[in-house]
Amino acid sequence: MEKTIQPHQSTQFTVAGSDSRRKADMKAPTHPVSIQEIDPKTAVRDAVVQVAGYSYAVDLGPDVRPRSHHVGKNKRCSCLLGSDCPAVPVVVAYLRKGGQRAPDPPHGFYPEAPECCPVCGAPAYFESRLSNKRRGAGWGCSRAGEKHYWRDRSRIIKEALDANPWRFPPVVVRAGEQINAWDGILPGDNVLYPGLLRADIISS
């Protein structure tokens, strides 16, 4: 340790080589860590989570490869590790701490391909040809291919029809505002158009 005393000033101490060593340490490059090698506790502490559509975008930091991950509500990551990805417990911890929850997708919309076929339970796979903005991620069944995808779409359409009996909803004035009354005509509504039920079309 070097000691330098200046007249009429406070004593200063300088550790030989400390500044140069500190600068060297700051400039030392960090080696990227594979996602398989990351410490889960470190991931939970350092990661940044944001809602992205109907899932969660997870940033594991610049020292992790791959850095960006997307975790769905099914607790699976879009990377090859799936449910074993460290980004999954990161999202779980984020939600336990009161983090913003991703919205539920519309009925029949697949934010990602299902892990198992909803028709027979066999493993499913992503099929880009069947993907679109209205239906979401396309998928196929490892046992029946696209056949079970379209059978599932038929189920979804039937459920939507059952939940919405109106072909054309009533038009009413409610609380001073003209609206399409998908919930039906309520007491006090001023009916402008009575609507047309799907059942009436079928029966006619």
Question: Tens of pLDDT along 75-98?
Answer: 999 888 989 999 999 999 999 999
> Does residue 5 lie within any of the structural domains?
no
Residue 44's pLDDT is: 82
Q: Which residues of 26-53 are buried (b: 16+ CB within 10 A; e: fewer)?
A: eeeeeeebebeebeeeebbeebebeeee
202 pLDDT band, cuts 50/70/90, is low
> Does residue 159 lie within any of the structural domains?
yes
Residue 132's pLDDT is: 93
Looking at the structure of the chain, the number of domains it has is 3
Residues of the domain holding 172: 166-203
Question: Tens of pLDDT along 59-75?
Answer: 998 888 899 999 999 99
What pTM was computed for the model? 0.63
Mean pLDDT score of the chain, rounded to an integer? 84
30 pLDDT band, cuts 50/70/90, is low
With 0-12 / 13-18 / 19 or more C-beta atoms within 10 angstroms meaning exposed / middle / buried, residue 171 is: middle
Answer yes or no: do 74 and 115 share one domain: no
pLDDT at 109 over 80: yes
Answer yes or no: do 157 and 179 share one domain: no
